Amino acid sequence: MVARTVLKIWPCLNQLNNLKFDIQIKNALKTIPFLFLFLFLVNCKETTQSKINQTPAAQTDTLLYAQGFSIEDHKDFKVLTIKNPWPKSEQTFRYALINKDMAPKITLNKDDYNAVLITPIEKIVVTSTTHIPGLELLNVEQTLIGFPGTDYVSSEKTRALIDSGNVRELGKNESINTEVLLELRPELVIGFGIDGNNKTFDNIQKAGIPVIFNGEWVEASPLAKAEWIKVFGALYDKEKEANTIFNTIVTDYLEAKALAEQATNQPTVLSGAMHKDVWYLPSGTSSEAMLLKDANANYLWSETTAKGSLSLSFENVFNEAQDADIWISPSYHPSLEGIEKANPHYTKFKAFQQGKVYSFVNSTGKTGGVSYFEMGMARPDLVLKDLIKVCHPELMEDYEPSFFKKLN
């Protein structure tokens, strides 16, 4: 490029007298090094800017079970993609995650992402108790600064933060106190969507605070739900720790499943209870049904394929399950007496008569938060062990259940 520049000015130089020629050629020769340096710097700048603005070839983290998210590693930053975070959703959300040390060196087109986040996150608000384990398992619960419905939190570690005033109460999930939330100015809010219509989250995002929709609860299998800890790992630059934790959960789960397969009997199981005139119970494709299957139990509706819960009449359920060996999760009734008061017809079930009714409602924190609703999704290995203890107590004689206990 420098040579072409010199050739262009050469005809003009020949038209000047010798004196002017000598002066100008000397000046031109003096200019050439600076011209070369200028062109070199411009070229370097363009090349560097090009490398920053172009998205490098991504290496996608391999997920074992989860379908609702992906994490792409672009070397200098990561891209977290959330897919279908609520039932029948066709929306996809993309978030760029840049480590704070790389942030000054990277320029991204923000229009390509729902939000650009600097990691590790230092101030966060989560909106479901199922999100709490994602923080605690990675030892970053101290970054939690707000939560809607703090009484529902059962964990001792997070309860200590709440009691010391480090976690602000944000009201109810349906109507988060956005005034307090905006005062806290978290770097991120972890929410969840039922149908995609949430004015509160819309207002939070309009105020410049990113919201990530956590779709763990939409996943089809227990281990898929648990794998969402990797999302928190990416947000806190703790991918290795998250992978180790999840791999341990998978190993424990599969070992428990193998133990259950040694059982020689397969008890029949009834689940759920009446709400008004409808008996709601898990479909055969639900994660609850999968857990019972892996516990080597015969869930009486395991062959159903409906999405979501089954809605049946009392007569339908009674005809199928009056002789069921075990009844689990009978709504929120804390005792056999409570079940009988709710509906005297419940006493006609064999499982009730023999006292083989089990529930998680009596495993609570000091403010009444049910630990199953907090830890159950993150630790399916513990849930499976509980169900094996219920269905095959001879296989786990010394095991102390974490959630499911026999109703008195």
Beta pairing class for 92-99 and 78-83 = antiparallel
Per-residue pLDDT tens over the stretch 382-407:
999 999 999 999 999 999 999 999 99
CATH superfamily membership of 262-406: Nitrogenase molybdenum iron protein domain (3.40.50.1980)
For 301, the 3-state DSSP assignment is: coil
In this structure, what token pair is assigned to residue 256? Answer: 């428990």
C-alpha span between 119 and 103 (Å, rounded): 9
Selection from 318, 279, 286, 121 nearest residue 217 by Cα: 286
C-alpha span between 114 and 374 (Å, rounded): 28
The C-alpha angle 16, 22, 26, rounded to 5 degrees, equals 120
Q: Are 373 and 152 in contact (CB under 8 A)?
A: yes
Those residues with Cβ within 8 angstroms of residue 266's Cβ, 6 or more apart along the chain or in another chain:
296, 297, 298
C-alpha span between 388 and 400 (Å, rounded): 11
Selection from 217, 215, 237, 196 nearest residue 78 by Cα: 237
Q: Backbone phi, then psi, for 327, in 5-degree steps?
A: -125, 120
Amino acid at 95: Y
Amino acid at 106: I
C-alpha span between 284 and 279 (Å, rounded): 15
Q: Are 135 and 143 in contact (CB under 8 A)?
A: yes
C-alpha span between 240 and 98 (Å, rounded): 17
Q: What is the mean pLDDT of the chain?
A: 87
Calculate what percentage of the chain has a pLDDT beyond 90: 77
Q: Are 381 and 257 in contact (CB under 8 A)?
A: no
Q: In terms of DSSP H, where are the helices of 69-213? A: 132-136, 156-163, 178-184, 199-206
Question: Under the phi-then-psi rule, with left for phi > 0, alpha for psi from -120 to 50, and beta for the rest, what region is 349?
Answer: beta
C-alpha span between 342 and 78 (Å, rounded): 52
Q: Dihedral of CA 50/54/59/63: which sign?
A: positive
Q: DSSP assignment, residue 187? A: S
Q: How many CB atoms lie within 10 A of CB 120?
A: 17
Q: What's the whole-model pTM score?
A: 0.84
Residue 58 confidence (pLDDT): 62
CA dihedral 269, 313, 86, 370 (to 10 degrees): -50
What CATH code would you report for 59-250? 3.40.50.1980
Selection from 208, 249, 231 nearest residue 131 by Cα: 231
- Mean pLDDT split into 10-residue runs, the chain, 408 residues: 38 40 42 42 42 52 92 94 91 96 90 96 97 98 97 96 97 86 97 86 94 95 97 97 98 98 96 94 96 98 91 96 97 94 96 97 94 97 98 96 96
Per-residue pLDDT tens over the stretch 316-356:
999 999 999 999 999 989 999 999 999 999 999 999 999 99
Residue 29 confidence (pLDDT): 41
In this structure, what token pair is assigned to residue 294? Answer: 């892996």
Q: Are 355 and 362 in contact (CB under 8 A)?
A: no
Give Cα separations from 15 to 8, 20, 304 (angstroms).
Answer: 13, 10, 95
Domains 59-250 and 262-406 share a fold: yes
In this structure, what token pair is assigned to residue 151? Answer: 């009484």
Domain regions of the chain by residue span: 2-53, 59-250, 262-406
In this structure, what token pair is assigned to residue 95? Answer: 């978030």
